[in-house]
Amino acid sequence: MFFVLLDTGLTLAGAAWWPADPGALAWLMLGAQAAACATLVFRRRAPLTVLTVLAGFTLLVTLLISPLGALNPEQGGNLWAPFATVVAAYGPFFYTRDRQDRRTALVALAVLTVIVARPWEPAIMVITIGVLRTALGPLLALYIDARRRLVLALTERAERAERERHLLAEQARAEERARLAGEMHDVLTHRVSLMVLQAGALGITAKEETTKQAAEELRTAGCQALDELRDLVGILRTTPEGEETPLAAGLVALAAESTAVGTPVDLVEEGDASLASPVVGRTAYRIVREALTNVRKHAPGANVTVRVEYDESRVRLSVRNTPPVEQPSNALAGTGSGLGLGNLRQRVELVHGTLHSGPAPDGGFVVEATMPAYVPTAESVGVSP
């Protein structure tokens, strides 16, 4: 409605094709112009149709003026096209997404430009203003469309980054929970199994009945704690950053602890332990700790030999135990998840090593691992996090 009133008012004011002495034809064309401008309400649904209607009206007015001479404008140097053509030229380039429709729109725009500029009646002012009037709409449409696409792309990128950040945070929390769960399982199972064995030994050697009863209660509570630990703690483990377990001293301490509770351990080390990267040392420590824990649970009274060989390229580790001297305690053997060696195998594979375990020919059990001595990490090259 705005452009209907605008173009009607400007035409009557002599700013377009209105003649000095209007007749019936002039008033008829004024009504046709108002109807053509009113088609702008359909510019979203049929932008090419609106452009065609206004181009047709402009062509009709131009032909009535020259060569037909049916209309004689008061101002001969004006443009005959209404201002609504600016919006009409805008529509096909903003609301159309199909490539073929856009090609058709380019052709229609070129025809409209020729009609509006009237190059067959060369006038610099008419041609300049006519080209600007038909070009302004498409240029504005292309700019707004490009800006809209850019905003949508940036919005999508921001939303995707937010989703990725949320997923990464969730993954980090899950990995941290799994790491803490694995650490708790490794450490507590090792320590509590030592307490259970010590309580059992105290119950056997104690002379006072009250001491035996207290030792048995302690042993039973330890077995229950291991069962609850199995149910509450996850087993999946990842390599913890910042953990420092000295390989040589750690293995010596593990051997001494097991020997003190009745599982003799013979530790044999060959080569220089400093050749092993920290992550390899921690992995070897975990293998020995898990193997000794399993011996105490499943092979009571067995002798264990731990052999570690270091060289410049490899670290070879084996834990062998003799057959059990007595039947294992069902309460102690039933603790744990049964996934300790499987998780250790995954840890060893992370450092590109191999781990094998199984029964030995003499009736005992053997765990063997081979790992590269050097595994590059930030810790091994002295890069602080």
Q: Model confidence over 107-118: pLDDT tens digits?
A: 888 888 888 877
Percent of the chain as helix, strand, coil, to the nearest 5: 60, 10, 30
* Mean pLDDT value across residues 34-44: 86
User: Which of left, alpha, beta for 301 (phi over 0: left; psi -120 to 50: alpha)?
Assistant: left
Asked if residue 178 has pLDDT above 80, the reply is no
> pLDDT tens, 203-233?
788 778 888 788 877 877 777 676 666 655 5
Burial class (CB in 10 A: 0-12, 13-18, 19+), 113: buried
Q: What's the predicted TM-score (pTM) here?
A: 0.41
Closest CA to 189 of 69, 313, 341: 341
Q: Assess contact for 321 and 294: CB atoms under 8 A.
A: no
The structure tokens listed for 154 are: 């940036």
For residues 151 and 148, what is the distance between their CA atoms, to the nearest angstrom?
Answer: 5
> pLDDT tens, 68-125?
878 777 777 777 788 788 888 887 877 777 777 778 878 888 888 888 877 777 778 7
Cα 381 to the center of its chain, rounded Å? 30
Closest CA to 367 of 276, 253, 300, 284: 284
The structure tokens listed for 140 are: 């504005």
The structure tokens listed for 377 are: 């990490």
Cα 348 to the center of its chain, rounded Å? 28
Q: Which residues pair with 320 in a beta bridge?
A: 305, 366
Number of helical H runs and strand E runs in the chain: 11, 5
Cα 232 to the center of its chain, rounded Å? 30
Q: Assess contact for 79 and 126: CB atoms under 8 A.
A: yes
